[in-house]
Structure 1
């Protein structure tokens, strides 16, 4: 008698989506869409503030998904599509209307280059997110680039001038941001920062002092913080490269000194052998 094998139950893909993290992603998309509307109405400061609010929602949706164990493939794809609108289209349009319009064709090409580099950055992130170090982003993350554009708009408003006062400087910033997004320069991701874990008392004091300074001068401090983050990637790359060069040079020196000692020892042994023969 042949025994019939029991069919193993096949694991079906779960239907439905997680509502909570996707609500925050939708709020990020709404803020980016509102930034586009405000830019069309030439309310540039409002558009910049909406982009920064979108950055906050984008950071929260990932944190909430990991905290509540509600990460999903749908949420990841939805987040990327929303990021392209909130951090690609909205800042690109803001940059063009605020400073790049006088350049004509060169201006909208710069804005489109920013958009396409942001799209390439998101596509590369989705492909490589399971193979790269989670502690670092490869290339400037698109929310960081969008936040820098928005903070620059708010920073210049403190001194009562806009991007058209220094158009060549701003178009250069747009090209630099586009290059950094598609580069292989590593930027800290801060994913290792867990608020649930115990931290020293000094860490709490530092966070509170930082928040107080930001609240006192938000337009200036946000620009300075995002500028430091923008520069942190190239600085860390140069620092690591020099560290590797110094380590390699020390290794070569140690190898050379070890070789000299070996040669000296061989010469000493040869001299003793000749003395014994004599």
Structure 2
């Protein structure tokens, strides 16, 4: 007779599907670095956008299939640091900032450090932050600004040396936006499993058609507008702008969620 009082042994292992998608995003980010080292900047920029697609799928797939895990959340953060932190910084340096010497790599470091701090801050605020907004520019959107700028430059034959100072300023500013307190719409309130009007589907088709006309320019413009929406949204929501509305945190180390305390629905949230 089986002893019912014996403790149940948990099955070891990791969930395949969501972590497979995370690995695909990590591979895309790594490939972007390799491509930029070989002066294939258009391919490297496109790889960043591909990594964004996988980054958006893995968490949602984990929730849809009920395969959230603490391992998946940590793995996702590591992959995001490569794909949206290191990769865009190296692409920016290889494309247009190497000519600036120390100024160039320092601008890239500001971006890379901003991405790391952004991800760390997000992880400490899981379960307590307002889901409707991101605090600071999300790292995938920041990476899209860098990748989109490089992609446009390649498509339109822009000499990187002629815009190196401007691009360095954009790179550093994007890194600072990630650690700012500006509020950005997260779009997490959208019910992806709900029903919509037929007109909405027509609008979705129209969006894809418009983007296909000139993917580099349109995607770049869209993410630049999104980056500008944070300061605009913050200024509209406060009566008097204070330093704390722009930069600084209140006790970011107060709550550090663990695998036990973290809600399952948040364990694979996106950054």
TM-score range, shorter chain: 0.7 to 0.9
| TM-score, with length taken from structure 2 | 0.83
| TM-score, with length taken from structure 1 | 0.81
Deviation at 1:74, TM superposition (A): 0.5
**Paired residue for 1:157?**
154
Of 11, 22, 25, which aligns to 2:22?
25
**Paired residue for 1:221?**
218
1:126 aligns with 2:123: yes
- Whether contact under 8 Å (1:18, 1:70) holds in the other structure is yes
Q: Which runs of 4+ in 1 moved over 3 A?
A: 7-14
**Paired residue for 2:13?**
16
Partner SS state of residue 166, structure 1: helix
**Paired residue for 2:268?**
none
- Whether contact under 8 Å (1:21, 1:65) holds in the other structure is yes
**Paired residue for 1:172?**
169
Partner SS state of residue 137, structure 1: strand
**Paired residue for 1:59?**
56
Partner SS state of residue 12, structure 2: coil
Summarize deviations over 1:150-208 as a string: whole Å, max 9, x none.
11111122321143221111111011111110111111111222221011222212111
Quote the Cα distance in structure 2 between the aligned partners of 1:152 and 1:159. Answer: 11
Question: Structure 2 vs 1, CA of residues 228 and 154 (structure 1 numbering), >3 Å: closer, same or farther?
Answer: same
1:200 aligns with 2:197: yes
Question: Structure 2 vs 1, CA of residues 62 and 99 (structure 1 numbering), >3 Å: closer, same or farther?
Answer: same
Question: Structure 2 vs 1, CA of residues 163 and 14 (structure 1 numbering), >3 Å: closer, same or farther?
Answer: farther
**Paired residue for 1:145?**
142
Runs of 5+ consecutive residues of structure 1 not aligned to the other structure: 1-6, 245-278
**Paired residue for 2:82?**
85
**Paired residue for 1:209?**
206
Deviation at 1:86, TM superposition (A): 0.8
Higher relative contact order (CA 8 A, sep 6+): 2
Partner SS state of residue 205, structure 1: helix
**Paired residue for 1:115?**
112
Partner SS state of residue 166, structure 2: helix
**Paired residue for 1:232?**
229
- Whether contact under 8 Å (2:107, 2:169) holds in the other structure is no
- Whether contact under 8 Å (1:153, 1:162) holds in the other structure is no
Of 65, 68, 71, which aligns to 1:68?
65
1:97 aligns with 2:94: yes
Question: Structure 2 vs 1, CA of residues 58 and 162 (structure 1 numbering), >3 Å: closer, same or farther?
Answer: farther
- Whether contact under 8 Å (2:108, 2:171) holds in the other structure is yes
CA RMSD for the aligned pairs? Answer: 1.9
- Whether contact under 8 Å (1:98, 1:162) holds in the other structure is no
Runs of 5+ consecutive residues of structure 2 not aligned to the other structure: 242-271
How many residue pairs are counted as aligned between the two chains?
Answer: 238
Higher helix share: 1
Quote the Cα distance in structure 2 between the aligned partners of 1:69 and 1:214. Answer: 33
Deviation at 1:68, TM superposition (A): 1.3
